[in-house]
Structure 1
Amino acid sequence: MSDAGDFIDASLQREGSWFRAEDLRSRWGSGLQYYGASVGAVRGTVRDALRRHRGLTHDDITALSSELWSVPVYERRLSAVVLLQSKVSTLDNADLTRVEGFLRTAGLRELADPLAVDVVGPLVSGLDLLGRVRADSVLDRWAREEDVWLRRAALLAPLRAFRGGGGDWGAFVRRARQALALSFQHDRENSSEQDHESDPVREAVALVLDDVAKYRPELEFRVDVT
């Protein structure tokens, strides 16, 4: 383990509490382990690590994020997300491959959504024209993926841009229709009652539409997401 990774892991374990860990396990299941550290403690730990290791390069940051994510502990994976959020300005188009791997194994909205909204979205917005074209092709592919977390990420990524008066609404509409088409197809194939409100893709579309209704009422996309 790297020095920075060891510092973060040890700090998170010190900040943990068994009752918080048990509460998280009861809410989210046993797919991950839990130290029981608070979100504030995770953010503070990453901030302290970056102060201790000021010379971390782009490659150091991305390698550290993979190191933290590699162990299935919720707080470690959240710290990887916070790390990428903190250094998103240093990321480039090639880093979407790494983030895609994280999304495929996220399994929780609490990990997948900040990756989409606070990492993928700003990363894409900060690219030059050629980089943006390449990144858009990646998001188009995510919207057609069987993996529900990739489809959700493709839809939530431009949320901050929409709030700020930017973003490509046409691209969102296209991706939403593609992502929803897969959800509807799965409904037909399963031919069983399903709680549509729990579908991460339908939920993502609804979240964006609700948000846009507040910040950008001129943008419209009518679709049944129930």
Structure 2
Amino acid sequence: MSAAGEFVDATLQNESTWERAEADLHRVGGTGLVFYGASVGAVRGTIRDAGRRYPGLCHDEITLLSSELWAEPVFERRLAAIVLLQTHVRLLRASDLTRIEGFLRQAGVPALIDPLATDVVAPLITALPAGARGRALAVIGRWATEPGAGPRRAAELVRTRLEPI
């Protein structure tokens, strides 16, 4: 794992409590997810601190770090991946929808699907030029017919967010 990934993971573990982990497990659910017990504020602060510690990350480094964080089925790591993408959505490209689709297939819980759809995918599509936006909307249309609940839910949320466009 990259130095930035190790920093994020270690910080999230240091910011955790077993009481919060247990409470989050009951609140969020998620078969197969592990919970460190770090708060949403701690996740956001960790990504902010990672940005200060590792300034100037480019598109490829951001997407690689998001994949590193997502690789383990740990709720806070996956939430940190979402916050990272949210923070750097201006760097994302239409081609990143493939990676995000994989995240949606593995998310398993609305607490990860919803912010990924509304805070990453919708702003990404909104920022695309017209031609690329049309292709991205075709991808969202395909997600709406997928057998997996994650992509279907995300497609519904993205379409709702983009209705005024």
Could you say if the C-alpha distance between residues 111 and 85 of structure 1 is closer, same or farther in structure 2, counting changes exceeding 3 Å? Answer: same
Partner of 1:18: 18
Partner of 1:184: none
Structure 1 residue 26: Cα displacement? 2.7
Could you say if the C-alpha distance between residues 41 and 70 of structure 1 is closer, same or farther in structure 2, counting changes exceeding 3 Å? Answer: same
Could you say if the C-alpha distance between residues 104 and 29 of structure 1 is closer, same or farther in structure 2, counting changes exceeding 3 Å? Answer: closer
Structure 1 residue 29: Cα displacement? 4.8
CA distance in 1, matches of 2:154, 2:9: 27
Partner of 2:102: 101
Partner of 1:124: 125
Report if the CA contact (8 A) 1:121-1:159 is conserved: no
Task: State which drifts further: 95-104 or 136-145.
Answer: 136-145
Structure 1 residue 55: Cα displacement? 1.9
Confirm whether residue 75 of structure 1 aligns to residue 76 of structure 2: yes
Structure 1, unmatched stretches of 5+, are 168-226
Structure 1 residue 158: Cα displacement? 3.9
For CA contacts below 8 A with separation 6 or more, give which structure has more relative contact order.
2
Aligned 1:157-196 pairs, distance under 5 A: 157-162=158-163, 166-167=164-165
Structure 1 residue 155: Cα displacement? 1.1
Partner of 1:180: none
Structure 1 residue 149: Cα displacement? 1.4
What is the number of equivalent residue pairs in this alignment? 164
Q: Write the letter of the residue equivalent to 1:137.
A: A
Q: Which aligned segments of 4 or more residues in structure 1 are displaced greater than 6 angstroms?
A: none
Q: Which string of whole-angstrom CA distances, capped at 9 and with x for unpartnered residues, describes residues 29-50 of structure 1?
A: 5521111000000000001101
Partner of 1:49: 50
CA distance in 1, matches of 2:48, 2:160: 25
Structure 2, unmatched stretches of 5+, are none
Partner of 1:5: 5
Report if the CA contact (8 A) 2:117-2:154 is conserved: yes
CA distance in 2, matches of 1:132, 1:158: 13
**SS of the residue 1:146 aligns to:** coil
Structure 1 residue 88: Cα displacement? 0.5
What TM-score comes out, normalization by structure 2 length?
A: 0.95
Q: Write the letter of the residue equivalent to 1:20.
A: R
Task: State which drifts further: 145-154 or 105-114.
Answer: 145-154
Aligned 1:214-225 pairs, distance under 5 A: none
Q: Which string of whole-angstrom CA distances, capped at 9 and with x for unpartnered residues, describes residues 177-207 of structure 1?
A: xxxxxxxxxxxxxxxxxxxxxxxxxxxxxxx
Structure 1 residue 159: Cα displacement? 3.9
Q: Write the letter of the residue equivalent to 2:10.
A: A
CA distance in 2, matches of 1:15, 1:105: 25
- Indicate the RMSD between aligned Cα atoms, in angstroms: 1.2
CA distance in 2, matches of 1:138, 1:30: 27
CA distance in 2, matches of 1:153, 1:107: 12
Identity of matched residues, %: 58
Q: Larger Rg: 1 or 2?
A: 1
